[in-house]
Amino acid sequence: MSQNTVNTTVSIKPADALFLSWATGTNASGLFREAVAEQMMYRDIDRDELSTLTEEALTETSRDLDDLLEQTSSIEDLNTLLETDPASD
């Protein structure tokens, strides 16, 4: 099974860019993932559940990531989408 990687460009303030250039050992992508994990915790999203549902939606239905992005805006939407998708039965 092939894995899709989504790449995103993030704009940062000049002061942050300068700091990151000084702190060459800083893992900026790690900081981003940490911030996302904090937001998921704040919004009461279980990362493992989201990962499982996303994987199910991508492998057991005819949808791709773009479809999920267009058709959902919450984990509840994703659950509903999977429950009502005839391809997932």
Q: What is the pLDDT of residue 86?
A: 64
Residue 85 vs residue 75, higher pLDDT: 75
Average pLDDT for residues 53-64, to the nearest whole number? Answer: 91
pLDDT digits over 34-50, tens only? 999 999 999 999 999 99
Distances (CA, A) of 47 to 15, 17, 43, 53, 55: 31, 29, 11, 10, 12
Distance CA 38, CA 35 (A): 5
By percentage, how much of the chain surpasses pLDDT 70? Answer: 91
Residues 6+ apart with CB under 8 A from 32: 10
The model carries a pTM of: 0.70
CA distance 1 to 72: 24
